[in-house]
Structure 1
Amino acid sequence: MSRVPRSFRLLEELEKGEKGMGPESCSYGLADSDDITMTNWNGTILGPPHSNHENRIYSVAIECGEEYPDQPPQIKFVSKINLPCVDQITGEVKKNQFHTLREWKRSYTMETLLLDLRKEMALPTNKKLPQPTEGSNF
């Protein structure tokens, strides 16, 4: 089986993200449309219902390095959030504490990552955690 090059893979993800073909609970796109390396992305996650995240929109910054999709992207919350897998000073999602990053597979996408973070918010141990004031950023 042949491996899809990084740029083709990112173009596929960009097209899907721009056309809104993914779930309504998350979205993503290039941070700068002139970024020919397709490295820096913005994402949003709608807080899951029946949780302290309900009716909140969380912004994240995603960096797809040269080794993506073989290696996971770096992801950092721009919006303040209280989750065990998120560094409370920098907003970075900690690779060793978030299963999707720790167990990264080439088949995963930015959409996978965003949806799994949303699932993390909805876990019984996380859904009632007190959250920072809405609208605050790291």
Structure 2
Amino acid sequence: MTHWNGTILGPPNSSHENRIYSLTIECGPEYPERPPVVRFISKINLPCVDQSTGLVLASKFPTLGAWKRSYSMEILLLELRKEMANGANRKLIQPSEGETF
């Protein structure tokens, strides 16, 4: 099970509210020792997401940057949702709904 599809419902009281975000998760041969590669399909404006590719940057997203073998796909998705709701990120202007990378 290498390739996964994920969905995140935008957190309430944020610019992500009522949006559904799709992403892919690819677990390489060294998973779970190494983090998966996470890429948004739905366009999203977050500091931890490369704006040209949708790739979640491990250097800017602590869950990937400090990956632990015990982390699950659920934790990964929940932490991304928390990032959306976090302080300055919750008010960031977002691309039009339905746009993709």
Q: Structure 2-normalised TM-score?
A: 0.99
Which of 7, 10, 24 aligns to 1:47? It is 10
Which aligned pairs between 1:89-128 and structure 2 lie closer than 5 A? 89-128=52-91
- After TM superposition, the runs of 4+ consecutive aligned structure 1 residues lying more than 3 A away are none
Q: Structure 1: where are the runs of 5+ without partners?
A: 1-37
SS in 2 for 1:127: helix
Matched, 1:76 2:39: yes
19, 24, 30: which is aligned to 1:67? 30
- Larger RCO, structures 1/2 (Cα 8 Å, 6+ apart): 2
Shift of 1:98: 0.2
Q: Could you tell me how far apart the structure 2 residues matched to 1:81 and 1:60 are?
A: 11
CA RMSD of aligned residues (A): 0.4
How many angstroms apart in 1 are the aligned matches of 2:39 and 2:22? 9
Structure 2: runs of 5 or more not aligned: none
The number of equivalent residue pairs is 101
TM-score (norm 1): 0.73
Q: Distance in 1 between matches of 2:27 and 2:75?
A: 14
Q: Are 2:97 and 1:130 aligned? A: no
Identity, % of aligned positions: 68
Larger Rg: 1
